[in-house]
A and B are shown apart, each in its own frame.
Chain A
Amino acid sequence: MGNEESTPDSTQEPEQGSGAQEGLDRRTVLKTGALLGAAAVLTSKKSLVLAQSAPPLAQPVLCGTTPPVSPPTRPFLDTLPVPLPALPQFLNPQPTEAANTGAGEAARDPHQRWQQFLPLLTYRMVAAPALHQHHTDLLPSYMWTFNGRYPAPTPLNFYGVPSLVRFTNNLPPTPPNTTFGINEITVHLHNGHTGSESDGFAGDFFSTGFFKDNHYANAYAGIDDFGGIGDPREAMHTFWFHDHRAAFTANNNYLGLNGMYIVYDSKDPSHELATPGSLRLPGYYGITDIPLILTDKRFCPAANGRNEVFQVVGNGAPGGDKWVVNGKIQPKLTVRRRKYRFRILNTGPAKTWNLSLIRPDGSQAPITIVAVDANFLEAPVTLTNRTLDVFVAMRFDVIIDFSAFPAGTSVYLKEQATQNVGVAVADPAPGLPIGNVLMRFDVVNREQWFPADTPAIPSVLATMPDPIVPDASFQWDFTLVSGRFLINGLEFDHNRVDHVVLKGSAEEWTLANDVAAGNWLHPVHIHFEEGRIMSRRVRVTQNPDTFQNIPLLPEELGRRDVYPLPPQHRVVLRMRFRDFVGRYLIHCHNMNHEDGFMMVRWDIVDSVEELTRKRREIDERRMLAGLPPQYTDSQRGGLV
């Protein structure tokens, strides 16, 4: 029952909203203790009470089913918070290769490449209710958080230093009758190159009282081909982790179960010093390298000392009328006259952000994209006259050079859609209503102690990996028939695989959006490895059997894991399947669509025998369902 942090003898619950971190740890101790002793004392009333004990927070009392207008909030009162770096911790019990179910770990496959990448840094993320205040003018809200924080603390990692995150589920065990998340989680590191058992597969959720160790090798893709820690050209830096529970992802994320995860290497080394290979981009976490985690929320009127986040049941998470950055509404940030890096992340559930930087005179100031979905572009792309379009789950690392603005001025991050501010405020800049302001940057002169500006952004940021030569091509058709989101004619079934690829192979995939003439753009996410867009085509309205090529935007030329798929589009991409095997997903990252099962499971296998057997089974099932086969005889090793 031992634990390195505190003694599990306390029956006192922590005060609401204070010392959340401490309180969580104590609860974890209680829970871990109960679980460790589970085998021996399962029948003991007391241990059961401990394991089942309700969290200290009273559950929210919601404000009905009609979306309310959120209360007024005055702009620029709160300072932009930066998620704390997550602190590595010793884990007790020690992480194991096979699931330690006796100690309360959720059932899973054994970790792959465990001996090769034995974790050196271990973290703990405890999913539990906590109060979070989104604005000074609002009372706290009941949220589901990791370690009591929204956004979750950020694990800062290095390539070559494998890590492991123990996700513990301490969500309320009693029916959350006023909270429409589900108290079962499975955490996906987006877009980690990880074994399937650590990938947060949608069907691998675990319930409250259990934990699960996700093993992150923090190695580049191409471990088998390149040896060591893989191909450094496959470097990714800005990851995020989030709950992926089938059918409940939108609500659980809306409640706050997500956070950022950063991996550094010599090119992007967590500092700005002139070290070998460093790009010398702004790089001090929280100082000159700042996450901007975006979401939208809607709040109930004040009641019971809270402004609860409005929730709906059954039809996905609601659209918000408040724009939230790092957990605050319309925050301000003091910036020095130098370059900053912002890691912009859209955590959904469904909203797309169309961002631009606005000078005090109302004109648009440049934003330079250096990385898309965690991958450095070959060359930076500077946006001067169009918006930065951030679809759900996308990450854009951007550089803003505030030396272009005189000290004492303010510049504004603008969102194209308008939020409800609720108080009358003059337009901060000509043509910029206050409702469109996401946040404000207040420019000041750099103090003596503040890090000096970094050199100019290099004109070459990355070398792309060798071109991907596909072994086969495959098409994913997205349709909506009788209210069912279908992919290749079938609805999502986490127990059924719909495409199988061989480990070490590469394929050219076409994503085809034929969701009948809707105006939905689907941000399609593919787990496992980064892909590259080869081409983008759109159906010609006048001649529906033909497609017209659309030139790729400069920021589409790099590697990525979210592929925006507008209606009637065909996106052709290539990707590899290296180093790990198991069950992976493709899905629309509009979480309401994902929960509506616009999702498909595909497997990576490491033997031709398994490949052909599974492919035969797929085609047999398809023929029984009256659908055309997917594979040629040779691809599935024989006739069906």
Chain B
Amino acid sequence: MATRIKRRELFSSFAGIGASPAGAQVCTGADLIPNVPLRTHDGAAVRFYDDLVKGRQVIINMMYAHCEAFCPAITSRLVEIHQALAPRMGRDLFMYSITLKPEQDDPAALEAFAKMHGALLPGWTFLTGAAYDIDTLRFALFRHDHIKFDLDPDSHTGKLRIINDAINRWTHVAPLASKMTVLQHISWADPPKSFEQRVEENRRLQLAIDKEHELYGYRKIV
């Protein structure tokens, strides 16, 4: 509890307002994200929230080693995303691929899968654990609030969950959207930018729009 109160104070002083009254509960990742015990592809024992998510920006997907429908395409898309964000990976940005079939996928199987896809990369961890814990995670992160879909494990392979726990920002993206789009969605959970940065981004976007109008007569890509 002590760490959570501290973080809250940090935020409130950052926002220039008084600290929240003691005793009141703040809705943070610790309440939302199960702190289940898991094993990583290299065999380490971890707690999902405390060790992997707390205070970080993370990208989470569900997969299994023998999944043939979308998983390979999604994994290779994630490799591309990793390349594009390489300087941040393992520093302030992390990827977690959680198996939906823990009974098949032990750490060794996950490592083999990662190796096969060229996904043994810094900041990217494949995870397995007890089936009950995996289900708990799946519900917490990917549920549709519709029993038909929530009880079907296969209905969760097609979505990336993006969380920045430090600012309680959750979003998601379909991994097979364009690479540019996936990167944009990940950036929607980036730490907030300064006003100057946003003014500069806005200026650049307008220049890009104007340029496209000049070149094509309409707005093409941006």
A interface residues (Cβ-Cβ under 8 A, vs B): 38, 42, 48, 51-54, 58-59, 61-65, 99, 101, 104, 106-110, 172-178, 180, 182, 206-207, 209-210, 247-248, 303-304, 311, 313-316, 480-484, 491-496, 516-520, 581-583, 592, 596-597, 605, 607, 610, 625
Contacts and interface: CB of A to CB of B under 8 A. Distances in A.
Contacts of A607: 217
A315 B174 contact: no
A482 B155 contact: yes
A28 to B, nearest CB: 16
A303 B24 contact: yes
Contacts of A581: 218
Contact of B188 (A59, A182, A495, A582): A182
A351 B192 CA distance: 32
Nearest to B29: A313
B149 to A, nearest CB: 7
Contact of B181 (A64, A110, A177, A493): A493
B60 to A, nearest CB: 11
15 contacts: A52-B194, A61-B20, A64-B25, A106-B202, A174-B11, A175-B14, A176-B168, A178-B27, A209-B195, A313-B168, A314-B141, A314-B161, A482-B159, A491-B158, A494-B181
Contacts of B8: 177
Contacts of B215: none
Interface centre among A172, A173, A316, A583 (most CB of B within 10 A): A173
B155 A483 contact: yes
A51 B195 contact: yes
A482 B159 CA distance: 8
Interface in B129-181: 141-146, 148-149, 154-159, 161, 163, 166-174, 176-178, 180-181
A564 B66 CA distance: 39
Interface string B185-222: 10010011011101100110110010001001111010
Contacts of A480: 149, 155
A42 B155 contact: no
A517 B145 CA distance: 15
Contact of B27 (A311, A592, A596): A311
B149 A484 contact: no
B195 A48 contact: yes
Nearest to B213: A109
A194 B203 CA distance: 24
Contact of B177 (A174, A316, A493): A493
Interface centre among B170, B184, B195, B196 (most CB of A within 10 A): B195
B174 A491 contact: yes
A40 to B, nearest CB: 12
B21 A304 contact: yes
Given A59-B15, A481-B158, 8 more contacts: A61-B21, A107-B205, A175-B168, A247-B188, A313-B32, A491-B174, A492-B174, A496-B178
A547 B25 CA distance: 53
Given A51-B195, A64-B31, A491-B177, A206 B202 contact: yes
A52 B27 contact: no
Given A480-B155, A483-B149, A495 B69 contact: no
A592 B145 CA distance: 10
Contacts of B221: 495
Given A107-B209, A481-B158, A482-B156, A63 B25 contact: yes
B198 A209 contact: yes
B45 interface: no
A283 B115 CA distance: 70
